[in-house]
């Protein structure tokens, strides 16, 4: 079970880092489409920092499982918020936005799986 926990943690950490780093380092102005949907630069940076923190927590959590479990649960909460946001703006009904809107759904389940496997490997 520990090997599965490590694999899930590393993959999820890579995803969280790849998604969060550009948001945390947001350069320039926020695109008008996102501003119209209520996302300002401060909120985008906060989401990015949460994703980067989750990535760090998942990697450290390989050796100290309570931190990894907390990081996976925290990332799941962020992803649930992303799903809620996409539902609110009708992105799942829009064929052009559906692909990007599906990623948070998938990674919510991966984060939950990572938390459960880390908990089982203690």
What count of other Cβ atoms lies within 10 Å of the Cβ of residue 25? Answer: 11
C-alpha torsion sign, points 72, 77, 81, 83: positive
pLDDT score, position 30: 73
Burial 74-111 (b: 16+ CB within 10 A, else e): bbbebbeebbebbeebebeeeeeeeeebeebeebbebb
Q: Domain containing 44: what range?
A: 2-120
Give tens-digit pLDDT for 55-93. Answer: 999 999 999 999 999 999 999 999 999 999 889 888 888
Q: Is the pLDDT of residue 2 over 90?
A: no
The SS3 of residue 10 is helix
For the chain, how many residues are written? Answer: 122
Please give the tally of structural domains in the chain: 1
């Amino acid at each position: 079970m520990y090997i599965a926990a490590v694999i899930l943690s590393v993959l999820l950490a890579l995803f969280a880092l790849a998604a969060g780093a550009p948001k945390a380092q947001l350069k320039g102005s926020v695109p008008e489409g996102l501003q119209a949907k209520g996302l300002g630069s401060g909120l985008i940076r906060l989401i990015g920092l949460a994703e980067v923190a989750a990535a760090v927590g998942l990697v450290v959590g390989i050796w100290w499982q309570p931190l990894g479990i907390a990081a996976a649960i925290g990332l799941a909460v962020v992803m649930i918020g992303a799903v809620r946001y996409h539902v609110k703006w009708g992105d799942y009904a829009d064929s052009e936005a559906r692909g990007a809107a599906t990623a948070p759904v998938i990674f919510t389940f991966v984060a939950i799986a990572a938390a459960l496997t880390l908990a089982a490997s203690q």
